[in-house]
Structure 1
Amino acid sequence: MHLSLRQLSTFREVMRSGSISQAARSVGRTQPAVSTMVRTLEDQLGFALFLRSHGKLTPTPEAQFFLEECEDILGRVERTERTMERISSLQSGKLKIACHPAASSVFLPRLLTGFLKNRGDLDVSLMMRSSGVIEDLIASQQYDLGFAETPQPRTSIRQTDYDLECVCILPKDDPLSRADVVTPNDLDGRPMAVLFDEHGTAVQTEAAFRAARCHFNKRLELRTFLPGMQFVAAGLCVMVCDMITAYSHLTQTPENERLSIRRFGPKISNSVSILTPGYATQSMVAQAFIAELQVVVENMQAEISDTLK
């Protein structure tokens, strides 16, 4: 027995309307075509669905039972169609994102706020993890995408890399806020906030001071640069920090309270990457979010460049 959805929906319309002619109008077919479909359905089922007398149809008890089954099947199909429509329009689905600490407090939540607007049935998991952990989560396909410091290439991960320039953060009334470029000579001996010794920005910054024969005064060692903003604002230190933290500060702080952001030379790089599983197909919602993330990263670079002019 091979019943089609068209047969089931046509039978349902006949039962609802009580008339072959009315059902034909509802499903957009001719009356003979509907009559033939009902008879074919009865032949396939092996029992009568209607008693026919003087041009009238009277449903049999078996027809009432079969209607319940049809309603159940067609209801599930219609719900599935609606769900698929919402998925295709990015209104529904699931998205799992792993994000490194620098972008987890402001940068990605700000992007997600706009992305989730008018997408009430879209479920998102946003987890902060270290970059090394994110790499493994993406390689093992546990998350749809990761935003982390750039790892070494591997076949189990697709990555889009961005070489982001670190910037110097100073109190807003610091004399160096008028400089085009702040150098180790300008910061010789000044208290600084830096990340832990193994981090690439800390290694590069200390190397720049050492090459310039300047005193690198590491007063505060941090896990992330975000709390350093408060220390700089209080006049306790200055810091050379990643672009994402600096951009987050710009986007959430009133203009009259913003710290001074200047270019640091020599250039200190902090490369970040959008990571996706190498052996998995991206969902449409993941593709859409990645496209927006790429735009936001590029816009951030442009805005920071304008700030440094």
Structure 2
Amino acid sequence: MSGSLRLRQLEALKAVAQHGSMTRAAGDLGVSQPAVSRLIADLSTELGFTLLDRRDGRLVPTQEARYILPDIRRVVDLMAHISETSRGLNERKAGHLRVACLPGFATSHLPGVVSKFLHARPDVTITVEPDRPERILEWIIGEQYDCGITDSFEGHPAIESETIAVRSVCVFPKDHRFAALDRVTAQDLHGERLIHARRDSPFYRRLLETFTQAAAVPRPVIEVRQFTAACEFVALGEGISVVSELDALTYAGRVAYRPYEPAVPHRLSLVRPIHKTPSLITLEFMESLFDSLRPLAA
């Protein structure tokens, strides 16, 4: 055997074995009857034995052909599956995504984006892995994830990024005096119990600058890593906070919020490995995610 078997030859034998007729096999394959005969003859030559016998007006596989037909069916079905999957990938309707993100983002904004994305692409699957920014960058640099959503990103040669500044708001209990205001300023926070982001975060440092400029001195009571945690404490009546509007929206039924001035935008970065060619699905997901954030852009 020369080793030059072709998929079309295998398809021809599978079709003839199924239909018992060259003519019906030709109709199934969308080719002429002589073309099927030639494919079978060439395959017989390649394999070195007869493939078909005629019995009672039907073509039936020989004993040798029956022995290899299960393998042939598996090969033909596998190739059909690969072809179908490839079409899905080209049409951006199939594939798998690995997405790393901030823990709060995984429970606030991201589920809605993922749900909408998957609804239009039923054969796409997604892994969502929440963790701290430092860990997300390690994963992206190591090409373990297709893309990530993080904050406080300052650039890295192995990472391609796009950053969007999201509006920040002051969140407070529904019965708080701030409910009468159209906006909350830094001066308004003087003396208020403050639930705030971790002290070493760029967001908190920028917030402190607004307090200094307004000569305002809030009373820090709780330090958190995630804005969603801050909103949860506000909902429990433990104080007020300044957070991304993205997270405040998730708690809209449990807390009230107003625009915060002066603006202290929360900078979110969409990141991916620069040396790993992104799939079409990855690029489309990142575009969908970025578009979902635009209405909240500062």
Give the TM-score of the pair, scaled to structure 1. Answer: 0.85
Aligned partner of 1:11 among 10, 13, 36: 13
Distance 1:199 1:53, change over 3 A: closer
Q: Which residue of 2 aligns with 1:271?
A: 267
SS in 2 for 1:226: helix
The answer to whether the aligner puts 1:293 opposite 2:295 as a matched pair is no
Moved more, 78-87 or 292-301: 78-87
Aligned partner of 1:196 among 192, 198, 215: 198
Letter in 2 for 1:292: S
Deviation at 1:134, TM superposition (A): 0.9
Q: How many pairs does the alignment contain?
A: 296
Distance 1:17 1:214, change over 3 A: closer
Moved more, 42-51 or 185-194: 42-51
Letter in 2 for 1:264: Y
Distance 1:190 1:166 in 2: 18
Q: Which residue of 2 aligns with 1:262?
A: 258
Could you list the per-position Cα deviations for residues 98-122 of structure 1 after superposition, in whole angstroms to 9, with x for gaps in the alignment? 1113312221122223333375553
Q: Which residue of 2 aligns with 1:98?
A: 100
Structure 2, unpaired ranges of 5+: none
Q: Which residue of 2 aligns with 1:225?
A: 227
1:101/1:129 contact within 8 Å kept: yes
Distance 1:68 1:234 in 2: 65
SS in 1 for 2:228: coil
Distance 1:56 1:178, change over 3 A: closer
The answer to whether the aligner puts 1:135 opposite 2:137 as a matched pair is yes
Alpha-carbon RMSD across the aligned residues, in angstroms, is 2.6
Moved more, 114-123 or 58-67: 114-123
Distance 1:15 1:238 in 2: 75
Aligned partner of 2:81 among 63, 79, 82: 79
Could you list the per-position Cα deviations for residues 275-295 of structure 1 after superposition, in whole angstroms to 9, with x for gaps in the alignment? 111111222322232122112
Distance 2:57 2:170 in 1: 89
Distance 2:103 2:284 in 1: 23
The answer to whether the aligner puts 1:282 opposite 2:278 as a matched pair is yes
Distance 1:96 1:59 in 2: 47
Q: Which residue of 2 aligns with 1:47?
A: 49
2:17/2:60 contact within 8 Å kept: no
Moved more, 266-275 or 61-70: 61-70
Q: Which residue of 2 aligns with 1:152?
A: 154
Distance 1:207 1:33 in 2: 80
1:150/1:271 contact within 8 Å kept: yes
Give percent identity, aligned residues only: 26
SS in 1 for 2:282: helix
Could you list the per-position Cα deviations for residues 103-162 of structure 1 after superposition, in whole angstroms to 9, with x for gaps in the alignment? 122211222233333755533221111112211211111111111104122221111101
1:210/1:216 contact within 8 Å kept: no
Distance 1:32 1:120 in 2: 41
Q: Which residue of 1 aligns with 2:212?
A: 210
Distance 2:31 2:203 in 1: 71
Distance 2:199 2:86 in 1: 50
Letter in 1 for 2:288: E
Distance 2:269 2:125 in 1: 23
Letter in 1 for 2:265: S
Structure 1, unpaired ranges of 5+: none
Deviation at 1:210, TM superposition (A): 1.8
Distance 1:215 1:55, change over 3 A: closer
Could you list the per-position Cα deviations for residues 184-208 of structure 1 after superposition, in whole angstroms to 9, with x for gaps in the alignment? 2222222211122111222122222
Distance 1:179 1:64, change over 3 A: same
Give the TM-score of the pair, scaled to structure 2. Answer: 0.87
Distance 1:123 1:57 in 2: 44
Distance 2:201 2:35 in 1: 74
